[in-house]
Chain A
Amino acid sequence: KNEVEQSPQNLTAQEGEFITINCSYSVGISALHWLQQHPGGGIVSLFMLSSGKKKHGRLIATINIQEKHSSLHITASHPRDSAVYICAVGGGSEKLVFGKGMKLTVNP
């Protein structure tokens, strides 16, 4: 069993839909990261969470430490949101443990 599990693995949505991506982990963590990877390889860090909730633009990330679960929500989705979204745990001088990622396609 992977230490970091993401669901769903793939998601296709229509523009404007509200999207939720889930991440569950089985190890103790100092922080959880949500990363975005577009075709071509580069990774952008969206959020780093250790508790509660963070919001940036149309993106909201939440974490429940007791349940070892995090969600990334995208409101009013847009085709430019199409990417792979990766959940990873760890932080600072700790190596990151990555989920396999979720491929999101938002159709116009």
Chain B
Amino acid sequence: EAGVAQSPRYKIIEKRQSVAFWCNPISGHATLYWYQQILGQGPKLLIQFQNNGVVDDSQLPKDRFSAERLKGVDSTLKIQPAKLEDSAVYLCASSRQVFGGYTFGSGTRLTVV
């Protein structure tokens, strides 16, 4: 099966600019996750979708981050405006609704200068 697709692969922006990331999960995977991984740390969950509904966004900085999953398939994560501390790898992952493994995308490396 095809993997989780993410784009862009790399992005460099200036602080206060806006940026958007895109994720296409594996077909049939109802659960989609966005993780933020700062250099040297483990990934931190930003938001979890079940189909097109939000299950957990408790660690999403909602004043600047937003995410949507229209039609329960693709998802976009947006940062507006970006701060220097947002520099990280943003990982998308998907899994089956019932007990199953995760598949991760290759990530988007964001550098805010």
Across-interface contacts of A92 in B (CB, < 8 A): 31, 95-100
Across-interface contacts of A91 in B (CB, < 8 A): 95, 99-102
Across-interface contacts of B50 in A (CB, < 8 A): 93
Fill in one digit per residue for B15-56: 1 if any A CB lies within 8 Å of its CB, else 0. Answer: 000000000000000110100010001111100101000011
Across-interface contacts of A44 in B (CB, < 8 A): 104
Q: Are A45 and B104 in contact (CB under 8 A)?
A: yes
Across-interface contacts of B106 in A (CB, < 8 A): 40-42
Q: What's the Cα separation between A91 and B95 when bound, in Å?
A: 8
Q: Are B42 and A99 in contact (CB under 8 A)?
A: yes
Which of A12-20, A28-36, A57-65, A69-77 is the interface stretch? A28-36
Number of A-B contacts (CB under 8 A): 70
A95 touches which of B48, B89, B91, B97 (Cβ 8 Å): B48
Q: Which residue of A lies closest to B39 (CB)?
A: A41
What's the dominant secondary structure at chain A's contact region? loop
Q: Are B103 and A95 in contact (CB under 8 A)?
A: no
Q: What's the Cα separation between A31 and B33 when bound, in Å?
A: 17
Fill in one digit per residue for A64-100: 1 if any B CB lies within 8 Å of its CB, else 0. Answer: 0000000000000000000000101001110110111
Total B residues in contact with A, Cβ cutoff 8 Å: 31
Q: Which residue of B lies closest to A47 (CB)?
A: B101
Interface presence of A11 (CB below 8 A): no
Total A residues in contact with B, Cβ cutoff 8 Å: 22
Across-interface contacts of B100 in A (CB, < 8 A): 91-92
How many Å from the CB of A86 to the closest CB on chain B? 6
B95 touches which of A41, A42, A93 (Cβ 8 Å): A93
Across-interface contacts of A45 in B (CB, < 8 A): 101-104
B99 touches which of A30, A41, A95, A99 (Cβ 8 Å): A30
Q: What are 13 A-B pairs with beta-carbon distances under 8 A?
A: A40-B109, A41-B89, A43-B43, A48-B102, A86-B43, A91-B95, A91-B99, A92-B95, A92-B98, A92-B100, A93-B50, A95-B56, A98-B43
User: Could you list which residues of chain A lie within 8 angstroms of chain B, going by C-beta atoms?
Assistant: 30-31, 33, 35, 40-45, 48, 86, 88, 91-93, 95-96, 98-101
